[in-house]
Amino acid sequence: MQVSQSPRFAVRLLLGASLLAVASPVFAQEAEEDTGLGEIVVTAQKREQNLQDVPIAISAIGSEKLERLNVRDTRDISGLAPNVTIVQGTTSNSAAVISIRGITSPASESFGLDQANALYVDGIYIGRSGASALDVMDIERVEVLRGPQGTLFGRNSTGGAIAFISRDPSDDLKVSARGGFGNYGAWNGRVSLDTGEVLGGLKTTLSYSHSRRNGTVDNILQPDNSKDPGARRTDALRAALKLDLGETGSIRYIFDWSKTTGRNVAFQLTNVADGTARPPLVVNGQPGITQTQQAPVQQYLAGATFLDARCAALAAPTRAYRDTICLDQDKDAIDEVQGHNLQLQNDFGGFQVKMTAGYRKWDSTSLGSDLDGLGTFRGPLFTSASLLNGMPASLLAFIPSVAPFASFVAATPVPTTTQGLFDTNNVRKHQQFSQEIEVSGDSEVLDWVVGGFYFWEKGSENNPQNSGFVLDTNQVFLANFGGLGPSFVAANPARYRLVVTNGLLRYTTSSESTALYGQATYYVGGRDGQLSLTGGLRYTWDNKFIIRQQSGATAPATPDQGRASFGRLTWNAMARYEFTDEVSMYLRAASGYRSGGFNAPDTTQAGTSTLLPFESETIVSYEAGIKAELLDRRLRVNLAGYHNKFKNLAANIPVVTSTPGVFGSRIVNVGKVDYTGFEVEARAVINDYLSIDGTFGYVDVNYKEFKVPTSGAVGAPIVDIASIAREGYTSRYTGNIAANLRVPLSDNGMTFNARVGYTYESPKYSFSNTISTPFNEQLKSDPKKQIDAQISIDGIQVGGGEAQLLVWGKNLTNRHEFVRGIDFGALGYGGGYYGDPRTYGVTLGVKF
């Protein structure tokens, strides 16, 4: 395949739109009277409120902006809110790693660690990070809540919450359609029908979308462009029904389904080890900390023979981006998601009742993931039986058990193997049910809500892994053959040999969570008063269970099991003072809780088949903010500063000594960490044509305690390595700025629109330290410096309807940014993933 290059005319056209936006004041003399900034309605407190009246840090992204930016799932909103970054998954097309204020959801796509940042779709909690990148249609807005939301949103929202809210079916008959195409063979289409009121007031929305594109990197072992890394095709359906019950109530049902089939983003090899010994580490005077010893991959690859000669040139590790690569085990990854959502609500006069129930199912099948970035190679194989093959018969005669066969062993060559360093496939299945009942009311001086929540989930994973560990057999001879060791080293026909292990991780988990909560806001002096006080409490009960059939090359005689219960009271206290109708200040203190659980690759309790759980995390957050609309509502500025104190932090750390045959990680409660930062969000209407919006976020992560064992041995002493710990998947600085232009073209509503935006995210670590992940510093991501732009003509009158023509581009400067790393620890190599190159396209939409 030839990787598509963006034509210069597309870049010039989109950059021209940005220049037009900057120059837009020239049109001001012809503008109509400006109406300023509009009100933004959110439901972050379980009721509709003006965003400026809500005493928490919250960003709201409306449907028009979402459509213009082509936002389809969680990953597309990275950088649009301060201190919020989202990184792609590895072996699943629907996975995402969400970080809010430095607090990160699990990078692992398994069913161990729960979310740290809650994700909701129309009030339904999404339980697993592997199913976070949803394809959501008919979005009305996205609300991003920063800071722990432990009272109203519950457990697993220690960093914050992201809520996707879809629109209600329309009262009137409407039809809309959109279609577009772009580079890398991309094209998409979407159609939506609103029936209006039928059958006694029933309103319905039916929507379908299809999208596809070819890969963005050329796998030279794959002739089909549609099967190159990064290729994908998605089909999605959504049906929404709403029936009003008289004047006070309604029933709403939503069904969504999507299926994405594609190839994972290309894994590129960036670092290999040469086997140099890593001595025990001394941290703050604490000696004897065992570091992961890396296999000598460099020497082995230097002597290996690649089956495809073209792959030999691509086998050298490099951090420089490659648009061609060799992936011999890259196969389809298929993610299918479906959901059912039922909502009943009624206003009884003095109070309102709402019930939300949902069932969701996620099936993820990865037929093959190539996680070494190499083609197939041939090299020496290690087995215990063949260790002495090819040695001189005169030397073998000194070994009594071998001497009778010395001539035969000497004449037998060292066996070879044909494979790669690491590949895997995976089948994950997950289903969940949740139900929430809330009762709320309000008066002249009080808003209140009480509720109950129930959540159940069950998940399973079947994960075969094929790994190759490079063994320096000279070390075997020197350690085990006494005085003969140096002679065997001198005669060794194949010093570096590959230990091939086919392992399997297979398990099933289930959990239940129940909670009761309540929150009230008291308006001192009534709703026209300046001061309001809010308090809330929530208690959560969690039960977790796991049964593991296998973790390694062989299955145990008795499956390993674990069962645990957790619970926590979380609280929220807020005060808001309104200086004027346009300027207010708030103070907030809140707590949060992420449930403990089980990590499937962990070892069992010594001498038993019992898996031990990791414990729950807790957080207490202190926050102060100012919200202001100034200059006759032409300028909106929201500021927030916070200090979070986190205890019992659960860290996902690659294992130093793993169960043989399975590359995995341990989840360890390592201690305490403080997060301190501030955020700015602003939007300014310069004139009737030009507006500017921007965000900026800063977070400092200060590990106060990070306790780890000095080695992988059972009962090893615990030491504190807080001074060398690093924050994973967190950007210290985030920022976004955009200029927006809207120019009337006619009296019937046709407008010219343009937007150019710049997003910045400072580099991120992928792991917490270099003790178990030696390449952590080298695998730190590049800074994100992305320029996007869109230009459109809206309101084109077409046969009683209207049309929109949109030209868009992402990553206009075609930066190749390294976004996520994987360190394979003792296996001796590391690599990672790059973000999308420059993409662009044209979209035409019509609605009637």
Please report the DSSP string for 603-634 in residue order: PBSTTSSBBPPBPPEEEEEEEEEEEEEETTTT
* Cβ atoms < 10 Å from Cβ of 297: 27
> Rounded to an integer, what distance in angstroms lies between the CA atom of residue 234 and that of residue 236?
7
Q: Give the ranges where 465-564 is alpha helix by DSSP (H).
A: 473-480, 485-491
- Rounded Cα–Cα distance for residues 795 and 743 (Å): 12
Residues 6+ apart with CB under 8 A from 552: 503, 504, 659, 660, 661, 662
Of 89-93, 262-266, 660-664, the range with the highest mean pLDDT is 262-266
Q: What single DSSP character describes residue 772?
A: S
Angstrom distances, CA of residue 315 to CA of 91, 103, 275, 822: 21, 36, 18, 17
Positive or negative, the CA dihedral 712, 715, 716, 720 is: positive
Spatial distance between the Cα atoms of 735 and 796, rounded to a whole number of angstroms: 34
| DSSP per residue, 261-301 | EE-PPPPEEEEE------PPEEETTEEEEPPPPPP-HHHHH
Give the amino acid at 134. Answer: L
What is the predicted pLDDT for the residue at 653? 67
pLDDT digit string, tens, across residues 442-493: 999 999 999 999 999 999 999 999 999 999 999 999 999 999 999 999 999 9
The pLDDT value recorded for residue 668 is: 82
The two beta strands, 160-166 and 117-121, are parallel
- For the record, the structure tokens of 54 come out as 């809500």
* pLDDT band per the 50, 70, 90 thresholds, residue 601: confident
Contacts 24+ apart (CB under 8 A), 245-248: 245/346, 248/346, 248/347, 248/348
Mean pLDDT of 235-260: 95
Q: How confident is residue 703, by pLDDT bands cut at 50, 70 and 90?
A: very high
DSSP 110: S
Distances (CA, A) of 306 to 311, 326, 331, 463, 792: 7, 11, 20, 27, 50
10: pLDDT strictly greater than 80: no
Task: Give the model confidence (pLDDT) of 799-828 as tens digits.
Answer: 889 999 999 999 999 999 999 999 999 999
- Please say if the pLDDT value at position 199 is more than 70: yes
Q: Write the pLDDT tens digit of every residue in 96-119.
A: 889 999 998 876 677 877 888 999
- Which burial class, exposed, middle or buried, applies to 255 when counting CB atoms under 10 A from its CB (0-12, 13-18, 19+)? middle
- Ordered strands of the 103-104 beta sheet: 84-88, 96-100, 103-104
C-alpha 45/C-alpha 157 separation (Å) is 15
CA within 13 Å, CB half, 843:
23
**Percentage of residues in the chain with pLDDT exceeding 90?**
76
Closest CA to 793 of 783, 782, 807, 781: 807
Q: Considering the entire predicted model, what is its pTM?
A: 0.91
Instruction: Report residue 779 as tokens.
Output: 């695998």
Q: What is the DSSP letter of 82?
A: T
Q: Does residue 106 contact residue 129 with C-beta atoms inside 8 Å?
A: yes
Per-residue pLDDT tens digits for 294-310 = 999 999 999 999 999 99
CA 507 – CA 338 distance, rounded (Å): 23
Classify residue 499 as exposed, middle or buried by CB count within 10 Å of its CB (0-12, 13-18, 19+): middle
Distance, CA of 582 to CA of 785 (rounded, Å): 34
CA distance 663 to 605: 19
Residue 4 — pLDDT band, cuts 50, 70, 90? very low
- How far apart, in whole angstroms, are the C-alpha atoms of residue 383 and residue 790? 59
CA atoms within 13 A on the CB side of 529: 15
- Tokens (6 digits) for 758: 């710049």
Per-residue model confidence (pLDDT) at position 547: 96
248: which 2 tokens?
């006070």
Q: Do 552 and 662 contact (CB within 8 A), yes or no?
A: yes
Backbone φ and ψ for 637, nearest 5 degrees, come out as -130, 125
CA-to-CA distance for 594 and 784, rounded, in angstroms?
29
- The answer to whether 65 and 742 have CB atoms below 8 angstroms apart is no
Which of 673, 259, 297 has its CA nearest to residue 499? 297
Name the residue among 185, 203, 202 with its Cα closest to residue 194: 203
What is the pLDDT, as a whole number, of residue 655?
55
The whole-angstrom separation of Cα 277 and Cα 329 is 31
Mark 3-33 as b/e (b = at least 16 C-beta within 10 Å): bbebeeebbeebbebbebbeebeebeeebee
- What pLDDT shows up at residue 156? 85
Sign, CA dihedral 127-132-138-141, equals: positive
DSSP annotation of 381: B
CA distances in angstroms from 368 to 50, 221, 311, 426, listed in the order given? 48, 14, 19, 8
CB 567 within 8 A of CB 150: no
Neighbours of 62 (CB within 10 A): 15
Q: Are 97 and 107 in contact (CB under 8 A)?
A: yes
- CA-closest candidate to residue 339, choices 588, 136, 512, 598: 136
Judged by DSSP in three states, 311 sits in: helix
List, as one string, the DSSP characters of 721-743.
-GGG---BT--SEEEEEEEEEEE
The confidence band for 66, taking pLDDT boundaries of 50, 70 and 90, is confident
pLDDT at 12 over 80: no
Rounded distance between C-alpha atoms, residue 252 and residue 311, angstroms: 55
